[in-house]
């Protein structure tokens, strides 16, 4: 057996592959390998930097350490979904393809034997395969009927790459999911596939609610009025529609073109004047002390 070396581990699996007939499976496999080729090409991965093992309905890809995980992540989050979308847009219902994807890292050894293929050995690879087959990842893809793939990353990839927020990699779009395996709990982070939901009570939510409340106050029905005492004159009917105008608060009794206004004036242009209005006066001291005509 060769000495183990650190590799980037990339795993793929086609959803519901065994439920298709042989003809459809062959078509899916050809398309699947083409999508993997184009994904790695978009990430700048050369043929000499990768090792592949075909698993029928999936694929194991080991990449050398000089392949940047940030670039690979961006390709998995953009190129892969776009290629799947193009295929599914034209494919029949029986040939639709969706993928579960795992990106991990760890020590892997190669123990080939003559006349056989494969021979990969490594605890980190075993854990990545368990994550690919985990129910939490299957459920995540099943719940996203409008998406074409789901991506999970292992703890080393999340801690070393994702959480730092490199260009095109948004850590807030990954949620932690603990996977129970034979020898304990395996932490993983699943890409949510969309912008995160706005948390209740957040500043953005509060601002939106304030705008909604203001709109309701101006466009909705007027608020109920308190009952007037018995025998009191009925208040004047409010206008059915009145645009909200500016509110001016005056301190004292200003003179406006020969008219004395006592109180506040609401909505100068096309609005309503409230308070005492004295026509022909000048200043309060020129008339009586309360501003009324002498």
**How many structural domains does the chain have?**
2
116-163 residue pLDDT tens: 888 999 999 999 999 999 999 999 999 988 999 999 999 999 999 999
Mean pLDDT of 205-229: 42
Confirm whether 227 is domain-assigned: no
| Confidence band for 272, pLDDT divided at 50, 70 and 90 | low
Confirm whether 173 is domain-assigned: yes
Instruction: Please tell me whether residues 153 and 262 are part of one structural domain.
Output: no
- Mean pLDDT (the chain) is 78
Confirm whether 90 is domain-assigned: yes
Of 191, 213, 233, the position where a domain reaches its end is: 191
Instruction: Please tell me whether residues 62 and 163 are part of one structural domain.
Output: yes
Confirm whether 258 is domain-assigned: yes
Instruction: Please tell me whether residues 137 and 276 are part of one structural domain.
Output: no
Which residue range forms the structural domain that includes residue 262? 246-294
Instruction: Please tell me whether residues 51 and 115 are part of one structural domain.
Output: yes
Of 144, 166, 191, the position where a domain reaches its end is: 191
Instruction: Please tell me whether residues 40 and 134 are part of one structural domain.
Output: yes
Instruction: Please tell me whether residues 257 and 131 are part of one structural domain.
Output: no
261 vs 160, more confident: 160
Instruction: Please tell me whether residues 181 and 259 are part of one structural domain.
Output: no
Instruction: Please tell me whether residues 263 and 133 are part of one structural domain.
Output: no
pLDDT value at 26 more than 80: yes
Weakest mean pLDDT among 70-79, 100-109, 181-190, 218-227: 218-227
Of 172, 191, 210, the position where a domain reaches its end is: 191
Instruction: Please tell me whether residues 276 and 182 are part of one structural domain.
Output: no
pLDDT value at 266 more than 60: no
| Confidence band for 42, pLDDT divided at 50, 70 and 90 | very high
Confirm whether 11 is domain-assigned: yes
217 vs 134, more confident: 134
Confirm whether 262 is domain-assigned: yes
Instruction: Please tell me whether residues 26 and 138 are part of one structural domain.
Output: yes
pTM of the model: 0.66
Q: Which residues contact 89 (CB under 8 A, 6 or more apart)?
A: none
Structure tokens that stand for 193 in this block:
């596939």
CATH number for the domain that contains residue 28: 3.30.70.1230
Instruction: Please tell me whether residues 113 and 184 are part of one structural domain.
Output: yes
Q: Which residues contact 18 (CB under 8 A, 6 or more apart)?
A: 57
Rounded Cα gap, residues 27 and 23, in angstroms: 6
Neighbours of 139 (CB within 10 A): 13
Confirm whether 27 is domain-assigned: yes
Rounded Cα gap, residues 274 and 266, in angstroms: 7
Instruction: Please tell me whether residues 59 and 165 are part of one structural domain.
Output: yes
pLDDT above 90 coverage of the chain, percent: 58
Confirm whether 290 is domain-assigned: yes
Is residue 153 within 8 Å of 188, Cβ to Cβ?
Answer: yes
């Amino acid at each position: 057996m060769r000495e183990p070396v650190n590799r980037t581990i990339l795993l793929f699996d086609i959803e519901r592959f065994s439920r298709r007939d042989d003809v459809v499976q062959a078509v899916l496999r050809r398309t699947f390998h083409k999508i993997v080729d184009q994904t790695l090409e978009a990430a700048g991965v050369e043929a000499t930097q990768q090792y592949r093992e075909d698993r029928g309905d999936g694929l194991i890809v080991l990449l050398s350490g000089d392949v940047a995980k940030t670039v690979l992540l961006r390709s998995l989050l953009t190129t892969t979904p776009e290629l799947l979308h193009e295929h599914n847009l034209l494919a029949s219902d029986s040939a639709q393809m969706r993928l579960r994807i795992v990106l991990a890292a760890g020590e892997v050894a190669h123990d080939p034997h003559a006349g056989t293929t494969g021979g990969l050995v490594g605890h980190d690879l075993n854990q990545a395969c368990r994550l690919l087959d985990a129910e939490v990842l299957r459920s995540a893809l099943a719940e996203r009927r409008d998406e074409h793939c789901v991506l999970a990353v292992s703890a080393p990839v999340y801690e070393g790459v994702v959480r730092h927020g490199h260009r095109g990699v948004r850590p807030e779009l990954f949620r932690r999911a603990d996977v129970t395996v034979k020898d304990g709990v395996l932490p993983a982070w699943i890409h949510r596939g969309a912008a995160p939901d706005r948390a209740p009570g957040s500043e953005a939510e509060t601002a939106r609610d304030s705008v909604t409340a203001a709109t309701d106050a101006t466009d909705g029905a007027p608020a109920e009025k308190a009952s007037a005492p018995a025998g009191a004159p009925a208040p004047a009917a409010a206008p059915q529609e009145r645009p909200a105008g500016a509110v001016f608060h005056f301190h004292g009794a200003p003179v406006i073109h020969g008219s004395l206004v006592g109180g506040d004036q609401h909505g100068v242009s096309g609005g309503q004047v409230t308070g005492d209005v004295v026509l022909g006066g000048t200043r309060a001291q020129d008339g009586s002390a309360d501003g009324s005509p002498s």
